[in-house]
Amino acid sequence: MTARQAVTIGAMLVLLVLALWGARVGWERRRRRTLAAVPTIPAVPDELGALLAGPFDAIYVSTTLAGDWLERVVANDLGVRSPAQVSVHDTGVLVRRTGAHDVFVPRAALRGVARAPGIAGKVVGRDGLVVVSWLPPGAADDRGLDTGLLPRHAADREALVAAVAALEPQTPAAPGGNQEMP
């Protein structure tokens, strides 16, 4: 190896380390910024009640601030994309994730459900995602959150939407899932 090659390799390694460090710093800043929107996530209750639908195999794509499909929330492990099983119970919606904390949306926190073409981390088009809109307890921001799920089977999309919609109050707030994409 020549001196020129060693310098080039060294410079590339330094750039790689700087890029990784920058990504880590950005992720940590986003975590701190979104912590106000989601100070805590609801714990999964010991008793979930009757199973109304599911479990559906899905991909947990991301959670964003409601109405802003690109503003990913990473606080409390919500920024981690992962395989999941989604089930709808009397008490709410349970997203059991592999490799990340489970997400439980209590029935009282639900604000709506819709289909959308994309959310931060995934654009599938043709309303392929199921977006559950909810307001976490203790949130400083009353806009709420949108959680994007990509069911593995197309037939599960409508079943999941219908089951979550059946849990909603009769006069729900407009779901953030009907977001305009550029």
Give domain limits for the chain: 51-167
By mean pLDDT, which of 84-98, 129-143, 150-164 is the weakest? 129-143
| CA 57 to the chain's CA centroid | 15
Which residue, 63, 60, 61, 59, is CA-closest to 35? 63
Predicted confidence at residue 79, as pLDDT, reads 80
CA–CA dist 141, 136 (Å, integer): 9
Judged by phi (left if over 0) then psi (alpha if -120 to 50, else beta), residue 177 lies in alpha
Q: Is the pTM of this model over 0.85?
A: no
Taking residues 23-29, report their average pLDDT: 71
Domain spanning 51-167: which CATH class is it, in words? mainly beta
For residue 61, what are the contacts with CB-CB under 8 A and spacing of at least 6? 81, 119, 120, 121, 122, 129, 148, 149, 150
Preceding omega of 55 cis (within 30 degrees of 0): yes
The pLDDT of residue 171 is above 70: no
By mean pLDDT, which of 21-35, 68-82, 115-129 is the weakest? 21-35
Separate counts of helices (H) and strands (E) for the chain: 2, 9
Mean pLDDT of the chain: 80
**Higher pLDDT, residue 20 or 94:** 94
**Higher pLDDT, residue 94 or 43:** 94
Predicted confidence at residue 84, as pLDDT, reads 92
pLDDT tens digits, 135-152: 887 766 678 888 889 899
The pLDDT of residue 182 is above 60: no
Predicted confidence at residue 31, as pLDDT, reads 67
